[in-house]
Amino acid sequence: MKPVSSAGAIRTRLTATVVLQSVGTTKTTTIVTVPLVAGTASYKVVLGVDTVYNLAVLPGHGIPRASFPFALPSILKGDPATLRSAAINLVFRRADKTLARVTPPVSFAF
């Protein structure tokens, strides 16, 4: 991990892979697996309104650092048809690398 300085604070970037999956009643399908680069991962995909997804952050040893399910209605406070973009920001504690905070910023086109 590389220390990063930002506005007087020191952050440590996590080396890991991000996995996005769609979760069905009988089958889980991996949509994408992307590495974290400079602490971020990005992938564009159209999400289904009636689909449950799972997001996992896997460090090199493969044991999930964080893993949680989500669905569009659970992160949106508006009409999914007007969704322009969304992201999920994860912040980990430096001491033990456990998940400290998750925020899902979204933008809408009206």
Question: Who's near 13: CB < 8 A, 6+ residues apart?
Answer: 1, 2, 3, 4, 36, 38, 39
pLDDT of residue 32: 92
| Better-scored residue on pLDDT, 22 or 46 | 22
pTM of the model: 0.71
Q: What is the pLDDT of residues 35-63, one digit of tens each?
A: 988 778 888 888 887 888 888 888 877 67
Task: Give buried/exposed letters for 67-97 (b at 16+ CB in 10 A, else e).
Answer: eeebbbeebbeeebeebeebeeebebeeeeb
